[in-house]
C-alpha cells in the first residue's frame, strides 16, 4: 500500500475514534455502550495499523513525537470505557480528551519539524 493509503486510514480512523469518545462522553447511554465500545475499538486498531504503516513507509523511527502520539492514542482509546464507568467525571474526561487531541496534533505538526 502507498503512504497515502496509510495516511487516509490513520486520519479517518482517528477522527472516528475521537467522535466515538466524545459521543460517549456527551451521552453515556447504557443501551449504546456495547456498540460504541466495538466501534471505538475498531477505529483504534485501524488508527494504530495506519499510523505504524505510515511510519514504516515514510522511514520514521522512534522519535519523541511518536511516543506522544502513542500516549494520546492509548488514553483516547480508553475514553469510551471511562465515560461509562465514571459518569460523574464526564466534564473532566471531556476536558482531558480535548487536551489529548490538541497534544496529538501538536506532536505531529510542531514537534515533528
Burial of residue 54 (CB within 10 Å: 0-12, 13-18, 19+) is buried
The three cell numbers of residue 91 are 466534564
pLDDT in tens, 56-98: 999 888 999 999 999 999 999 999 999 999 989 999 999 999 9
Q: Hey, where are the domains in the chain?
A: 3-111
pLDDT digits 0-9 by tens, 9-43? 999 999 999 999 999 999 888 888 999 999 999 99
The pTM of the full predicted model, rounded to 2 decimals, is: 0.90
Return left, alpha or beta for 60; rule: phi > 0 is left, psi -120 to 50 is alpha, else beta.
Answer: beta
Amino acid at each position: 500500500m502507498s503512504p497515502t493509503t496509510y495516511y487516509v486510514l490513520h486520519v479517518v480512523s482517528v477522527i472516528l475514534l475521537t467522535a466515538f469518545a466524545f459521543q460517549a462522553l456527551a451521552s453515556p447511554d447504557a443501551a449504546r455502550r456495547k456498540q460504541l465500545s466495538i466501534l471505538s475499538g475498531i477505529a483504534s486498531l485501524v488508527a494504530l495499523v495506519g499510523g505504524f504503516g505510515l511510519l514504516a513507509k515514510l522511514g520514521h523511527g522512534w522519535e519523541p513525537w511518536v511516543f506522544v502520539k502513542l500516549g494520546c492514542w492509548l488514553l483516547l482509546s480508553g475514553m469510551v470505557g471511562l465515560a461509562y464507568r465514571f459518569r460523574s467525571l464526564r466534564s473532566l474526561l471531556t476536558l482531558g480528551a480535548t487536551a489529548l487531541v490538541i497534544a496529538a496534533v501538536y506532536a505531529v505538526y510542531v514537534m515533528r519539524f
